[in-house]
Amino acid sequence: MTREASRLEFLGEMAGGLAHEVKNPLSTMRLQLELMQEDFRADPASTIARRNLPKIEQLLKETRRLEEIVHEFLKVARGHDLKLAALDLAHFLEELVEFVRPEAERAGVTLRLSLRNDLGTPLIDENYMHRALLNLVQNAVAACVPKGGGDVIVEAGRDHKAIGIAVIDTGVGIAEGARERIFRAYFTTKPGGTGMGLPMAKRIIEEHGGYITFDTLEGQGTRFMILLPARADEGLSQIVLHGEREERPAIDPKEVTAQVNAVLSSGDQAIRKKKGKK
């Protein structure tokens, strides 16, 4: 391990420890504020209640927000114990899209799923991958809201080496000044957001040995692209990875984009062959 890697690991451990130490006092503060809130609500017409209840409710709101930030930070900092098991990826994506569909319909967004070919049953931690992809799809829906609606498409395909997944929206796009910071912890463009959703999604995908990147046009939309190893079941019921990222070579984001496009294109070719088209 290089000196820089060792330093970053140490800082990560320190940050995780600090967040854990902050978590308990925050919980105590919240509980005490909730008790005070109950006391004042018992006699809301009193002068002291009318003067202090709004302040307590504001403090409670901020305390809960801090608790959420600490909770999300700890999930990212600690890493995840992945339980990799054979997953019917097509069915998994179908369920994910149906889960988000009511939210999309309320926002005037048309949500579609495009499966380019048979995705097989790669080894994936279903719970954590659901969390990562759910964040991406919900973000895509939210990006269309300022435009009064739009389209979100989830595409997926597979070749013998890799699985490609793309989440595409016709929303507002990502501003140029935000693009380099989009995966940084605590950075958010959403009101009330914690800025932990995309960093968490990125970490989960990398822990699976995968890559994530995006391209965007401000005012026109964004496409997030995920490249995952097409890990075969190989007769194994489950593999557990204890909070460690798989060893994977560094790949330029443009290469990730090219590989995802290639995987999705190979899926299109397979469909055409299956239909008897040249």
Can you tell me the distance from the alpha carbon of 145 to that of 154, in angstroms, rounded to the nearest whole number?
Answer: 18
Task: For the chain, report the end-to-end CA distance as a whole number of angstroms.
Answer: 52
Per-residue pLDDT tens over the stretch 196-247? 788 889 989 988 889 999 999 999 999 999 999 886 544 333 444 444 444 5
Where exactly are the structural domains of the chain?
Answer: 3-78, 82-274
Q: Given the DSSP bridges, would you call strands 221-229 and 162-169 parallel, antiparallel or unpaired?
A: antiparallel
Report whether pLDDT(37) > 60.
yes
Can you tell me the distance from the alpha carbon of 206 to that of 245, in angstroms, rounded to the nearest whole number?
Answer: 6
CA distances from 208 to 12, 176, 212, 232 (A): 20, 29, 11, 13
Report whether pLDDT(38) > 70.
yes
Number of Cβ within a 10 Å radius of residue 138: 17
Closest CA to 75 of 16, 149, 156, 136: 16
Closest CA to 80 of 201, 190, 254, 218: 201
3-state secondary structure of 13: helix
Mean pLDDT along residues 45-64:
91
Secondary structure letter of residue 246 according to DSSP: P
- In CATH, the number for domain 82-274 is 3.30.565.10
Q: Do 152 and 140 meet the contact criterion of CB atoms below 8 Å apart?
A: yes
